[in-house]
A = this chain, B = another copy of it.
Amino acid sequence: MTILDGNHISALIKAELKAEVEKRLSFGKKRPHLAAVLVGNDGASETYVGHKVKSCEQAGFSSTLIRLSTETTEFQLIEEVKKLNNNPDIDGIIVQLPLPKHISEDIIIETILPEKDVDGFHPINAGRLLIGQDGFVPATPAGIIELIERYNIETSGKHCVVIGRSNIVGKPISVLMSRKGYPGDATVTLCHSRSTNLSSITQQADILIVALGIPNFVTIEMVKQDAVVIDVGITRTATTTTKSGYKLTGDVNYAEVSKKCSFITPVPGGVGPMTIAMLMKNTLKACNTKD
């Protein structure tokens, strides 16, 4: 059994990105520049955005963090995004979700220029993904693809079962795994809360990707011998063993399932660390496209 080590691979990618930035600079080109907009002061959002900004700095990217109060109107946020759209030094724009309830996330996402939409949430980027055109792929599914690629996991003709149909993970990863080429060419089954006989389907999976948000949902009986198991779940669960009083738990019962599979992502340290690396990769791509 091999652990798909997201900490290791994401560190590798960040080092590669840093080298690419240095190469850009040596050619007199600009630094990639990510702008993050944070509305309100949700603790988890603060942490996520903080990590993104810090990772950018470590790799030599410029970053701008725009903090707006919870009282910001939709109109004001649109104006803020438009300023970033029009700023030629900004390559990528992310607006940290969730937004306060009085602001439409759809409207804000569609305000971001598609060529600066490094989260890949704009419908036109979702569409390019579906129809196989080049665009920005959301960071989490892109991170899963990257892990599969770096560990040379065979995907062609394999049966890939995805549990969860979210716009951010389940749907895009099912599209990516079934597209032509590598990693892809898999037969993909997309399961969700309305699926019946779930175990009988997951037992057929050569590659099982779980993005449900239910801790320890996938047990050993649900997994085929030597399957590749990718766990996207990250739920805070209470514990007495850490100082903070909580720990991060995946959707897969790791202790059990890791004994039966060929590859598995741990939680934390699997898919999670990949997402920021992929966001940065998208930002560098946005920057390169403008050269």
Interface residues of A (CB under 8 A from B): 106, 122-133, 135, 156-157, 159, 165, 167, 171-172, 174-175, 178-180, 185-192, 194-197, 201
Closest CB in chain B relative to A9 CB, distance in Å:
26
* Interfacial chain B residues near A174, Cβ < 8 Å: 190
Q: Name which residue of chain B comes closest to A200, CB basis.
A: B204
Q: Name which residue of chain B comes closest to A172, CB basis.
A: B130
Determine the distance from Cα of A192 to Cα of B126 in the docked complex, in whole angstroms: 21
Closest CB in chain B relative to A264 CB, distance in Å:
23
* Interfacial chain B residues near A165, Cβ < 8 Å: 178-180
Q: Are B196 and A157 in contact (CB under 8 A)?
A: yes
Pull 21 A–B residue pairs with CB atoms less than 8 Å apart, ordered by A. A106-B133, A124-B127, A126-B126, A126-B127, A127-B127, A127-B128, A127-B129, A130-B130, A130-B172, A130-B175, A131-B167, A131-B171, A132-B167, A157-B194, A157-B195, A178-B190, A178-B192, A187-B194, A187-B195, A187-B196, A188-B190
**Given A127-B130, A175-B171: A190 touches B192 (CB 8 Å cut-off):** no
Of A123, A172, A179, chain B has the most CB atoms within 10 Å of the CB of A123
Q: Are B123 and A128 in contact (CB under 8 A)?
A: yes
Of A171, A187, A201, chain B has the most CB atoms within 10 Å of the CB of A187
* Interfacial chain B residues near A167, Cβ < 8 Å: 130-132
Q: Name which residue of chain B comes closest to A181, CB basis.
A: B194
Q: Is the interface of A mostly helix, strand, loop or mixed?
A: mixed
**Given A127-B126, A171-B175: A189 touches B187 (CB 8 Å cut-off):** yes
Closest CB in chain B relative to A36 CB, distance in Å:
22
Closest CB in chain B relative to A141 CB, distance in Å:
12
Q: Are A156 and B123 in contact (CB under 8 A)?
A: no
**Given A124-B124, A190-B187: A130 touches B171 (CB 8 Å cut-off):** yes
Determine the distance from Cα of A123 to Cα of B133 in the docked complex, in whole angstroms: 9
Closest CB in chain B relative to A203 CB, distance in Å:
12
Determine the distance from Cα of A172 to Cα of B175 in the docked complex, in whole angstroms: 11
Q: Are B175 and A201 in contact (CB under 8 A)?
A: no
Determine the distance from Cα of A281 to Cα of B123 in the docked complex, in whole angstroms: 23
Question: Beyond A123-B133, A159-B201, A187-B192: 4 further Cβ-contacts under 8 Å?
Answer: A123-B135, A126-B126, A126-B128, A165-B180
Of A186, A189, A196, chain B has the most CB atoms within 10 Å of the CB of A189
**Other-chain contact of A131, B123, B186, B190 (Cβ < 8 Å):** B123
Closest CB in chain B relative to A280 CB, distance in Å:
23
